[in-house]
Amino acid sequence: MESKASVQPAGGFMMLRLTAVIALFPDLGEAELLGWVERGWVQAERQEPDWVFEDIDVARVRLIHDFRRTMDVSEETMPLVLSLLDQVYGLRAQMQALAQALEQQPDDVRAAILARLRR
């Protein structure tokens, strides 16, 4: 069953429409959120005549909202903050992949790598 606030694409995951995302943040207006989309801070998909947001997009809106409202991060500073966060998330993903690859190695290889890292 599809509501007007959400969309369920063929992939099966739920996406929220613009009005549903705005409803989550009482002090966030449509123009401001669309400005974030326009600046590339949030990735949303245009499905005429509306915008739809995946869970990850809504999480990013929540993050930006917290930075802007709670931490008073300026609009000019947000691109730098978001770029740094994206780099941290990317590095975290690489570290997790590396850790998984290390777990699959023989004990002697893991021991040699760990010994080298401790130097």
pLDDT in tens, the chain (119 residues): 444 666 555 455 778 999 999 999 999 999 999 999 999 999 999 988 899 999 999 999 999 999 999 999 999 999 999 999 999 999 999 999 999 999 999 999 999 999 998 98
Reading the block at residue 81, the tokens are 């903050």
Model-level pTM? 0.78
Give the per-residue pLDDT at 14.
Answer: 79
Give the per-residue pLDDT at 84.
Answer: 98
- Quick check: helix, strand or coil at residue 112? helix
